[in-house]
Structure 1
Amino acid sequence: MRVAKFGGSSVANAAQLKKVANIITSDPSRKFVVVSAPGKRFDEDTKVTDLLISLGKQGEQNKPYQDELKKVIDRFDEMLTELELSKEILKEVEDSLVSIMEGETVFTHKMDALKATGEDTSAKILSQYLSSIGHPASYVHPQEAGIIVSDEPGKAQVLDESYDKLYQLREREGIQVIPGFFGYTLEGELMAFPRGGSDITGSIVAAGVKAELYENFTDVDSVYCVNPTIVDSPKEIFELTYKEMRELSYAGFSVFHDEALIPTIKAKIPVAIKNTNNPNGRGTVISAERSLTDDGPVAGIASDTGFLTIYVSKYLMNREKGFARHLFQILEEEDISFEHAPSGIDDMSVIMREGQLTPGKEEVVLRRIKDELRVDQVSIERDLALIMIVGEGMNRILGVTGKATQAISNATVNIEMVNQGSSEVSMMFGIKKDGMEAAVQSLYKEFFEA
């Protein structure tokens, strides 16, 4: 039994939905399907989720929203026309959106409810189309499926009681189509997952029904070992471990949100990344272990910009009990989360996303650190990029760190920070963002072309 999740590009229009239907019906074990909202049909197009966000913003600003509403309805109208399906659903979708916008339906968090409409309608159209071509299929509402989540708008977490409820779906006949991206609290409130939420739903469903495989269909044949916009025609990765994929996803790989695989990891369910436009391709398999015989120590290189570091220095910091706890408490009280915190004897750096530290918060945080911790120095450095090299083989092969630092040096890029993960599966380098591409290209040459 498999769970197949299809991303936005896979359900962008009627032609893509027909490919999706062919993939689903080609294998009877694909009983559970999770879908995203329709993505871009062409480069200059707009994703349905973005159209829904624009709709919501018009409402927030008390501006007319009919034009934005029409764009959403037109996208689904076009799909239904080309699939030769009944258009009764369009009135239902339009009435629902108007009800949310006008406050007639009680949603504590309207934007989550608006955005969820994209996935919800995708699932309804796909199930309707599958049935129309002779393959009994049912749309399953997330609340009916049992996807119970925490009360955290835009960043909901699945609750453990969901899994027993999802397991009961195995008893149903036919293909079950479930919208991704959202679930419901115990009180019945709709809540959306973080970005990449449909991947999270797919992983949750796979764990809940105890699937033998979770297939994630997208628009690439496999995962590349580096961002293809930085390196031309990079090497494909055919096998990854859970640890490697999670580290790479966190550090900027766009294939998965870094939280998406957690349910499948815990359930030890292999994940296959496949291309909707080339379903018979080899793809990439993610599992607990991989063969390391033909691979080097590094499986992939991830990179991302948009970081800053708060640098704190105090003589004899290492002897001051509770210093780090107090520093992190200040951040917690100011509602700031951090990414990494490398430290020395007399100093510590706290790395975070730049969006976490608004100008207003920056002033407050710096003042509190100075006043409460009585530090010798505190400063903020912005415009940082993080580069992560990842590979299970790094902990058994000598010289990886030396090769990596030399490669970055060869690109004439200065290293601001180095952080070795305790699992020895990853190594992170902090550099100025304007040197990121050159550093990544040099690292790729060292580990994949040498």
Structure 2
Amino acid sequence: MKVVKFGGSSLASGEQFQKVLNIINADPTRKVIVTSAPGKRFAEDVKVTDLLIEYAQKTLEQQDTTEVIQQIWTRYQEIAAFFALEPQKFAFLHQELVDLPIAFNDEPEYLMAAFKAHGEKLCAQLLALILQEQGLPTRFLDPQDAGFLVSSAASDAQVLPETYQNLLKWREVPEILVVPGFYGVTTQGKIATFSRGGSDITGSIWARGIKADLYENFTDVNAIYSADPRIVAKPHPIKIMTYRELRELSYAGFSVFHDEALIPAIQGQVFINVKNTNHPELPGTMIVPEKDFHPKSTITGVASSNHFSALYLHKYLLNKETGFTLKLLELFYKFNISYEHMPSGIDDLTVIFDKRQFTEELREQMCSEIQKVIHPDQLEWIDDYAIIMVVGEGMRNKIGAMKNITTPLAKEHIAIHMINQGASRISIMLGTKKEDAANAVSQIYQQFFKGVAKS
């Protein structure tokens, strides 16, 4: 039995819906279908989710919503027309869309969550109708009916443990189940969404819940690549990789698969196959547990991300000051800030943050408080910071990997501000200037993959 998730680009139009139908028809073991909201049809297009956010904002501000409702409805109407679906058969979807302000007249954060979630819900309902019209025994399953329970964080929900037992009850249902991704319901019956892109998470939860043999994640790329194609021309596709390799690479910018979605799959030991809706015959990338995995190359991939900042602190005899780090962590807690890494020396300490959690005012307040409490000899905030992740199960027992990573950077005069090797020994993290990040990725890629045949 397979759980299959289709991304927004796979469901953007009637033509794409037809490809989805072909994929479902090609394999009777594809029993649970998870939908995203319709994505962009072309570069200048607007995703349905973004239109729903606009709809929610206008509702909250008591503005006229007629135009945005029509924009959203036109997307679903065009898909239905492609399959010559009679208007009366899907008219209830339009009514559901129009009634959103009445049905979810709630606190702003929950209203926003409910509106956003309906991109996936309406898409799942429409897909179920089309499959039924094609003669396939199909059932739309609402998260409320499925028992898909999540925590009460309106836009950053976490699955509740009892969900897995609830989903297992649906394993033997004879019909194809079409379920909306991205959201669940709280124990109070309110809609709460995962973080953006969370349909991957929904698919992974279903795969674990029904003990699927495979979780297929269909997107718009042929495979996960060993480097960003925007940085490296025609990089090697990755045939097979481990859960933790993808987790490490996702941290630094691999965006094909939502990194949080790995956790339920890991817990359930479900294999994941990332494939292309437009070329389903290609093998894609298989993501597997590290147990019994035998790497064929030193590194699997290299990635970079520029959404980091660093706080540099210098204080003489720092290594002898009891409680220094505790005071620092207490300040981070006070300002509700998480940190990523904290490399240190005897008199120096650098704290690396995801800078997306800061406003300018918050950063200034935190630094001012650190200055008052810690009394460093020097405090410097560094915005020009990028993280490079070099990842591969093959590095665990490979002598000289660090030399092969740093040598090409030295030849290019790329300064390394920080080096950190993970305890698992499958990843090495480098800190560089943002302007050097792309070249660093390219040079490391060439060092390990130049001359290696693509398959």
Look up the match of 1:223. 224
Provide the secondary structure at the position in 2 that maps to 1:169.
Answer: coil
SS at match of 1:233: coil
Helix, strand or coil: the match of 1:386?
strand
Q: Which residue of 1 aligns with 2:347?
A: 346
Answer yes or no: is the 8 Å Cα contact 1:76–1:90 preserved in 2: no
1:152 and 2:160 aligned: no
Corresponding residue for 2:415?
A: 414
Instruction: Say whether the 8 Å CA contact 1:221–1:275 is kept in structure 2.
Output: yes
1:180 maps to which residue? 181
| Aligned equivalents of 2:61, 2:106: Cα separation in 1 | 19
Q: Distance in 2 between matches of 1:80 and 1:285?
A: 33
Q: Which residue of 2 aligns with 1:430?
A: 431
Instruction: Report the Cα distance in structure 1 between the residues aligned to 2:385 and 2:82, rounded to whole angstroms.
Output: 47
Amino acid in the other structure paired with 2:378: Q
The one-letter code of the counterpart of 2:405 is A
1:120-269 aligned within 5 A? 120-269=121-270
Identical residues among aligned pairs (%): 43
1:16 is matched with 16
CA distance in structure 1 between the aligned counterparts of 2:90 and 2:306, rounded to whole angstroms: 41
Equivalence map 1:278-289=2 (5 Å): 278-289=279-290
Which residue number in structure 1 is paired with residue 55 of structure 2? Answer: 55
Deviation of 1:205 after TM superposition, in Å, equals 0.3
2:243, 2:284 → 1: CA distance? 16
**Gap change, CA 1:103 and 1:292, over 3 Å in 2:** closer
1:36 partner amino acid = S
**Per the alignment, do residues 339 and 89 of structure 1 end up closer, same or farther by CA in structure 2, a change over 3 Å counting?**
farther
| Deviation for aligned residue 1:32 | 0.7
Contact 1:240 1:285 in 2 (8 A): yes
Q: What is the count of residue pairs matched by the alignment?
A: 449
Report the CA distance between 1:240 and its aligned residue: 0.2
- CA–CA separation in structure 2 for the residues paired with 1:30 and 1:223: 22
Letter in 2 for 1:29: T
Q: How far off its partner does 1:319 sit?
A: 2.8
Q: Deviations over 1:51-95 (max 9, x none)?
A: 112222333444333222211011011111111224347654444
Give the Å deviation of 1:325: 2.5
One-letter identity of the residue aligned with 2:113: D
Could you list the per-position Cα deviations for residues 139-166 of structure 1 after superposition, in whole angstroms to 9, with x for gaps in the alignment? 1111211211111122111111110000
Q: CA deviation at 1:333?
A: 1.6
C-alpha contact 1:387 1:436 (8 A) present in aligned 2: yes
Q: 1:248 to 1:417 in 2, by over 3 A?
A: same
2:104–2:114 contact (8 Å) kept in structure 1: no
Question: Which amino acid is 1:212 matched to?
Answer: D
Distance in 2, matches of 1:103 and 1:17, equals 28
Q: How big is the shift at 1:396? A: 0.7
Question: What is the aligned partner in structure 2 of residue 380 from structure 1?
Answer: 381
Amino acid at match of 2:106: V
C-alpha distance in 2, partners of 1:88/1:261?
40
**Shift, 1:216, TM fit:** 0.5
5+ residue gaps, structure 2: none
Deviations 1:113-153 (A, max 9, x none): 11111100111011111111111100111121121111112
Hey, what does 1:331 align to over in structure 2?
A: 332
1:26 is aligned to 26
With normalisation by structure 1, the TM-score equals 0.95
Q: In the superposition, relative to structure 1, how do residues 383 and 103 fare at CA in structure 2: closer, same or farther (>3 Å)?
A: farther
Q: Which amino acid aligns with 1:424?
A: R
Tell me the CA shift for residue 171 of structure 1.
Answer: 2.9
Q: Are 1:100 and 1:106, in contact at CA under 8 Å, matched by a contact in 2?
A: no
1:71 paired residue number: 71
Q: Which residue does 2:4 correspond to in 1?
A: 4
Kindly provide the CA deviation profile for residues 20-71 of structure 1, in whole angstroms up to 9, marking residues without a partner as x. Answer: 1111122111111101111111222111111112222333444333222211
Give the superposition deviation at 1:382: 0.2
1:154-198: CA deviation from partner (whole Å, max 9, x where unpaired): 211111111000000113221001100001111111111012200
Report 1:56-135 matches (<5 A).
Answer: 56-88=56-88, 91-101=91-101, 105-106=105-106, 109-135=110-136
TM value normalised by structure 2: 0.94
2:311 maps to 310
CA-to-partner distance for each residue in 1:358-378, whole Å, 9 max, x for gaps? 111112101111111222222
Q: In the TM superposition, what whole-angstrom CA distance separates every residue of 1:251-301 from its partner, at most 9, and x where no partner exists?
A: 1001112211100011111111111111111111110137546x3211001
Partner Cα separation in structure 2 for residue 226 and residue 441 of structure 1: 8
Whether the 8 Å CA contact 2:146–2:166 is kept in 1: the answer is yes
Deviation string 1:194-239 (CA, Å, 9 cap, x unpaired) is 1220000000000000001111111111111000011111111100
1:98 positional shift: 4.0
Q: Classify 1:317/1:60 alpha carbon distance in 2 versus 1 (closer, same or farther; 3 Å).
A: farther
**Structure 1 stretches of 5 or more lacking a match?**
none
Is 2:309–2:354's contact at 8 Å kept on the other side of the alignment? yes
Quick one: which amino acid aligns to residue 166 of structure 2?
K
Q: How far does residue 395 in structure 1 lie from its aligned partner after superposition?
A: 1.6
Q: Shift of the alpha carbon at 1:10?
A: 0.8
Deviates more, 1:400-409 or 1:269-278: 400-409
In 1, Cα distance between equivalents of 2:104 and 2:243? 44
Q: Which residue of 2 aligns with 1:441?
A: 442
- With 176-185 and 324-333 compared, the bigger mean Cα shift is at 324-333
Tell me, in whole angstroms, the C-alpha distance in 2 between the residues paired with 1:5 and 1:59: 31
Could you say what secondary structure the match of 2:42 adopts?
Answer: coil
